[in-house]
Amino acid sequence: MPWLVTGKPEIFNTDQGSQFTGSAFTGLLASNGIASSMDGKGAWRDNVFVERLWRSVKYEEVYL
């Protein structure tokens, strides 16, 4: 799988969902030396480009 990424990231970017703000998840990142970066609450526009890209890929390549 050429798209598979391995290794440890320096920064892990998420939204502010409860699964990402809980101490279990943030503690796991911290214990592995990974910085956490969170999008602003309700910042839907942060992911618009990527969401539209994946929608295009799915409809043009996958759902044929």
pLDDT at site 59: 87
Identify the weakest region by mean pLDDT among 1-5, 24-28, 53-57: 1-5
Q: Please report the pLDDT score of residue 51 as a whole number.
A: 81
**For the chain, what is the HEC assignment?**
CCCCCCCCCCEEEECCCHHHHCHHHHHHHHHCCCEEEECCCCCHHHHHHHHHHHHHHHHHHHCC
Q: Tokens standing for 3?
A: 């798209």
The residue ranges of every structural domain in the chain are 11-62
